[in-house]
Amino acid sequence: MTKITPKTTPIYQTSVFTFEDLNELELYFEQPGQQYMYTRYGNPNSDELAEEVNKLEEGAGAVVTSSGMSAILTAVLAYSQAGDHVLCAEEIYGGSAALLSQELTRMGITVTYVPSEELYSLDSHVHSNTKLLLAETMSNPLLQVVNLERLAEETKRVGIKLVVDNTFASPVITKPLSLGADMVIHSVTKYLSGHSDVTAGVVVAGTADASERVKQIMRVYGLNLSPFESWLAARGLKTLKLRMRQHSINALAIAEFLERHPKVKQVWYPGLQQHPQHKLARLQGCGLFGGMLSFRLEDNEEAVNRFMRALEHIPFAPSLAGVSTSISHPLRTSHRSLSPEQQQKLGITIGVIRLSVGIEETVDLLADLAQALEEV
Ligand SMILES: Cc1ncc(COP(=O)(O)O)c(C=O)c1O
């Protein structure tokens, strides 16, 4: 028979694997990891993706999931159950807040949101049943940078786990486990896959025990990622380092341009000197600040609409972190489910626009933004 040795992993688009006989089946149970049985329990494509992300995050084991949301669910369930209490940084992706406040509370897991200024002194928020704190390395959408080393010291001191959503930073910029976090999650939908064609998540555990637990949750709740999506994401991941560098170069140039523009009231980008955590971002991010930034036009719906309509090459698409630039509107999309008071408190007003800067030529992006701002 012709010897077939593909350079890249083929797609194992199968829901089940076959066995020769009962002896071979017994080997599957006796020697875990040697064979596959059923794709929900494990598949070569999802395992490859999990292993690659695990290496990048320097974890003890990882599991990929059907979305970033199911990764967050897996991480929270790994450390808590009915009757427990979790803490969550107040500046967090709206979907994470909805999962905690609207769904997990119904299952008996209560949540308290911790304002950013209180993140490093948790005594007044921690109860005897508090199990974990969920925070983002760089918050969505206002790019607040969390000092993960300090936060890990504080969560250890009060005896709870630290779960970090590292979606905005990616492991190229920050590796939370090496700074003391217990678990890392990503919406793989974003930078890790990078091409706006996959919905996926990953949970990376800091210990072998936690890794076994998240794998168990993924299998039993059926949160697995399909072979094809795993393959696409693993393919995207190969260029992550290159992409992150270009995203960061472009975003810094655009942030500096917007900062000087008379129609722009405010810019949030950790690479700018005036950003409140600029020094921390520089240290924690190896000199790269990522591809996400937000800015505020006047707080007027028509001004926002005019700007969006005038952009010729940058679409309004409510996601982020793809190779091509897009804008989003946090108030009406990602943070829609927050109460008006929460939105107001976080500073997410009608004029705030989030820009996911791609890897195109910097001059082309600047030209499109400049002409659209003229229309505001
Ligand atoms: C920071 C962050 N975490 C998690 C998620 C959820 O990921 P997914 O949409 O892949 O479920 C998102 C989605 O935008 C996000 O921005």
190 an active-site residue?
yes
pLDDT at 251: 98
State mean pLDDT over 362-370.
98
pLDDT in tens, 18-75: 999 999 999 999 988 889 999 999 999 999 999 999 999 999 999 999 999 999 999 9
pLDDT in tens, 91-128: 899 899 999 999 999 999 999 999 999 999 999 999 99
Which tokens sit at 195?
A: 């091409």
Q: Which CATH number does 240-374 carry? A: 3.90.1150.10
Q: How many of the other CB atoms lie within 10 Å of CB of 220?
A: 11
Burial track 74-91 (b if 16+ CB lie within 10 A, e otherwise): bbbbbbbeeebbbbbbbb
Q: Is the CB of 165 under 6 A from ligand 1?
A: yes
Q: Is the CB of 93 under 6 A from ligand 1?
A: yes
- In the predicted model, is pLDDT for residue 169 greater than 80? yes
Q: Is the CB of 69 under 6 A from ligand 1?
A: yes
User: In the chain, what is the straight-line distance between the N-terminal and C-terminal CA atoms, in Å?
Assistant: 67
165 an active-site residue?
yes
Q: Is the CB of 155 under 6 A from ligand 1?
A: no
Second-level CATH architecture of 22-237: 3-Layer(aba) Sandwich (3.40)
- Say how far apart CA 286 and CA 219 lie, in whole Å: 36
pLDDT at 307: 97
Q: Is the CB of 46 under 6 A from ligand 1?
A: no
Question: For residue 186, how far is its CA from the centre of ligand 1 (angstroms)?
Answer: 7
Question: For residue 140, how far is its CA from the centre of ligand 1 (angstroms)?
Answer: 9
Which is the closest atom of ligand 1 to the Cα of 201? Answer: 10
Question: For residue 262, how far is its CA from the centre of ligand 1 (angstroms)?
Answer: 32
Question: For residue 24, how far is its CA from the centre of ligand 1 (angstroms)?
Answer: 40
Q: Whose CA is nearest to atom 10 of ligand 1?
A: 68
364 an active-site residue?
no
Q: Is the CB of 101 under 6 A from ligand 1?
A: no
Q: Is the CB of 79 under 6 A from ligand 1?
A: no
Cβ proximity of 244 and 170 under 8 Å = yes
Cβ proximity of 70 and 224 under 8 Å = no
Crossing angle for the helix pair 301-310 and 362-374, to the nearest 10 degrees: 140
Where in the chain are the domains? 22-237, 240-374
Q: In what order do the strands lie in the sheet with 183-187?
A: 61-65, 201-205, 183-187, 161-165, 130-136, 85-89, 110-114
Crossing angle for the helix pair 44-57 and 227-237, to the nearest 10 degrees: 30
Which tokens sit at 296?
A: 């505020």
- Say how far apart CA 370 and CA 255 lie, in whole Å: 12
Q: How many of the other CB atoms lie within 10 Å of CB of 194?
A: 27
Question: For residue 187, how far is its CA from the centre of ligand 1 (angstroms)?
Answer: 5
Question: For residue 286, how far is its CA from the centre of ligand 1 (angstroms)?
Answer: 24
pLDDT in tens, 92-102: 998 999 999 99
Instruction: State the DSSP H helix or E strand holding residue 268, giving kind and residue range, or none if neither.
Output: strand 266-268
The residue with tokens 């170069």 is: 249
Name residue 175's beta-bridge partners. none
Cβ proximity of 146 and 155 under 8 Å = no
pLDDT at 9: 95
Q: Is the CB of 189 under 6 A from ligand 1?
A: yes
pLDDT in tens, 185-211: 999 999 999 999 999 999 999 999 999
Query: Hey, which of 69, 191, 294 would you mutate to test ligand 1's pocket, going by the most ligand atoms within 8 Å of its Cβ?
Result: 69
Share the mean pLDDT of the chain: 96
Q: Is the CB of 47 under 6 A from ligand 1?
A: no
| Residue 8 CB-half CA count within 13 A | 10
- Say how far apart CA 161 and CA 330 lie, in whole Å: 29
Choose the catalytic residue: 131, 161, 175, 190: 190
- Say how far apart CA 62 and CA 235 lie, in whole Å: 17
- Say how far apart CA 56 and CA 76 lie, in whole Å: 22
- Say how far apart CA 318 and CA 328 lie, in whole Å: 5
pLDDT at 58: 98
